[in-house]
Structure 1
Amino acid sequence: MTEQESPTPEIHHDVAVHRFATTVDGAKAYLDYQMDGRTMVVTHTWVPEPIGGRGIASRLVRAAFEYAREAGLKVRTQCSYAEAWSKRRPEYASLLV
């Protein structure tokens, strides 16, 4: 099953703890960030091995970047996955600092 064929998991944004998260097949995946003024600093993306390879990390990062775009924020990636993801998607380049 490809990323496009996989059912899209619902991503929840918990502003209080600075986390985007989803649960797939009972396993929780998440992206953590910190705020530095008007910059969202993506610090960590975690997808447990049993649900890996399904595009879940990509969906989490996309949700964070879309939130930043809608909120008028910039994004700095300290997480290696989010950095690699953003380099492959020039449509988000204007958000990066």
Structure 2
Amino acid sequence: MNVIDNKEKKRFETEIDGYKAFVEYEVKPNILILEHTEVDKALGGKGVGSEMVEAVLLQIELRGLKVIPHCPFIKKYISKHPEWQSIVAKE
């Protein structure tokens, strides 16, 4: 999955078959607060949201940043994938 960081809109984005998915964030020093995940209904039930979150977390980890997951979907994803706990910042 090709996920880009659209810093102007403060969101990670991808497009699949003309449909969009994104994760919105807020920037703090060395931390991204992941606020909201949205996947077009046409892509629903295909694992796009999970794949997108995985790609976003990987990009954040590679940048040496931490995350604060405010988005319920991302919170649940991280709880099911404890390997990502290492990049979760304390609030």
TM-score (norm 2): 0.88
Structure 1 equivalent of residue 51 of structure 2: 59
Give the match's secondary structure for 2:75: helix
User: Are 1:33 and 1:41, in contact at CA under 8 Å, matched by a contact in 2?
Assistant: yes
Equivalent pairs counted in the alignment come to 89
**Would you say 1:91 and 2:83 are equivalent positions?**
yes
Answer yes or no: is the 8 Å Cα contact 1:19–1:31 preserved in 2.
yes
Output the aligned Cα RMSD: 1.2
Map 1:1-97 → 2, pairs under 5 A:
9-97=1-89
> Do the aligned residues in 2 keep the contact of 1:39 with 1:75 (CA within 8 Å)?
yes
> Once superposed, which parts of structure 1, at least 4 consecutive aligned residues long, lie more than 4 Å away?
none
After superposition, the C-alpha distances for 1:31-62 in whole angstroms (9 at most, x for unaligned) are 11111111110000001211111111112211
What letter matches 1:27 in structure 2? Y
Larger Rg: 1
Residues of 2 paired with 1:26 and 1:67: CA distance? 23
Question: Aligned equivalents of 1:71 and 1:12: distance in 2?
Answer: 14
TM-score by length of 1: 0.83
Aligned partner of 1:5 in structure 2 is: none
Percent identity over the alignment is: 28
SS state at 2:15 partner: strand
Distance 2:28 2:82 in 1: 23
